[in-house]
Amino acid sequence: MSNKTVAYFYDPNVGNFHFGANHPMKPHRLALTHNLILHYGLYKKMQVYRPRAATVEDLTSFHSDDYINFLSRVSPETVFKWNDAFLQRFNIGEDCPIFDGLFEFCKLYSGGSVEAAHKLNQQQCDIAINWSGGLHHARKDEAAGFCYINDIVMGVLEMLKYYSRVLYIDIDVHHGDAVQEAFYSTDRVMTVSFHKYGNQFFPGTGAIDETGVKRGKHYSVNVPLQDGIDDTSYHTVFKPVIEKVMEFYRPEAIVLQCGADSLGCDRLGCFNLSLRGHGECVKFVKAFNLPTMVLGGGGYTVKNVARCWTYETSLIVDTEISNELPFNDYFEYFAPDFQLHPDIQTPYPNMNTKAYLDNIKAKVLENLRNLAHAPSVQMHEVPPDLLATQDTDDEHEDPDVSGIQKDRDLQPPIDHDDFYHDDPFDDMSEV
């Protein structure tokens, strides 16, 4: 049993959206993940919340007014009103299509990260999980890489109201480009990304010499990797780099993006991590015992995404779960093995030689030695929390989930026989 308080954010509607028949991004993976978490009984070890959808005020804490106004108005029925040049301005196209409910989807997944940040800020939990978040490619005024709203940046901005230094770690196979870009000139956020780089692999950024500018010089850390990296090779770089980051930067809080496209057999990935290897990164970061937001991200082999994030939820709550999957609403998706840890590693060669990894590690560690240890922040008045500025008089009613009734008691922790944990916002006016 974990001695940490874990808050878990999930909206049952977030998995119902559809990018298009041939699009690799499948929000339905979130429904599969949640269903496994439910049937393994992991929800009993967490405080479970249905987050409030992000407001326009939340979204414009990072994104431009014009871009949010466009997303709020566009739909498959109205998209013809904008000419191609206007759509290209916001990078709308094949990768980032307009689909039914797009803006609602954006508000749901980003709202989870904003509320997760609030819970951490108010010390109402030690770890906050939002598997629907982690969409790290969206820029201030444009969509990119299947991402429309950058919930990560929104969450970090909220956390910076309370924490002097926030560490962002990204284990997605794709570079966390837009998060790096957002904080490229500040020392209050260090971004650390482990990703495939080269051969025109999307998004084409994340070279080792991208280290930041101005006050942010040396506070962007990139670990460019090659095809086929396996668990052992990955951890020979991941663990020493994160250890040195913690030693030199001394963050007060962590945001961990757990993109599952770094697993073997991913539809769009080229790495060869097992679920245990991917989860080892979560265990390693968790062991530093700092307030941590855990987010999803990429992942395009749906059944393996669900397995991965379920397994990592079990690691977060310190609960060992069976390799035999429990019967659940999507049991047939996991055929033919019906196991949590199937063999997903590919026969593709590991192109990351020991010499290459040693060289990358040496360069990264040398860059870290140039850091001013634990940069300080001048005292200032804390801006109001985003959630504190919103109307909280009406309690948010959550639907029943799989026959599990919502807990109506505002005081004690979640009843293990119930599902949603009521979120008392009575104290928000005092923030």
Question: For residue 344, how far is the Cα from the chain centroid?
Answer: 22
d(CA 226, CA 353): 9
Number of H helices and E strands in the chain, helices first, is 11, 8
Provide the CB-side half-sphere exposure for 69 (13 A, CA).
Answer: 3
For tokens 């937001």, name the residue.
293
**Paired residues of 292 in beta bridges:** 127, 254
Provide the CB-side half-sphere exposure for 101 (13 A, CA).
Answer: 12
Residues in the chain: 431
How many other C-beta atoms are found inside a 10 Å radius of the C-beta of residue 256?
A: 23
Identify whether the C-beta of residue 377 lies closer than 8 Å to the C-beta of residue 164: yes
d(CA 209, CA 218): 9
Decide: residue 336, CB within 10 A, 0-12 exposed, 13-18 middle, 19+ buried: exposed
Q: Calculate the alpha carbon distances from 343 to 24, 278, 339, 349, 361 in Å.
A: 22, 14, 10, 16, 29
**Which one is catalytic: 63, 137, 174, 195?**
137
Order of all β-strands in the sheet with 253-257: 47-49, 6-9, 127-130, 292-295, 253-257, 166-170, 189-196, 220-225
Catalytic residue list contains 23? no
Residue 298: closest CA among 267, 274, 333: 267
Our CA dihedral for 32, 343, 41, 314, rounded to 10 degrees, sits at -110
DSSP letters along 365-387, please? Answer: HHHHTTSPSS------PPPPPTG
Identify whether the C-beta of residue 132 lies closer than 8 Å to the C-beta of residue 109: yes
How many other C-beta atoms are found inside a 10 Å radius of the C-beta of residue 243?
A: 13
Q: Calculate the alpha carbon distances from 261 to 172, 303, 309 in Å.
A: 6, 12, 12
Residue 157: closest CA among 31, 24, 290, 54: 54
Residues annotated as catalytic are 137
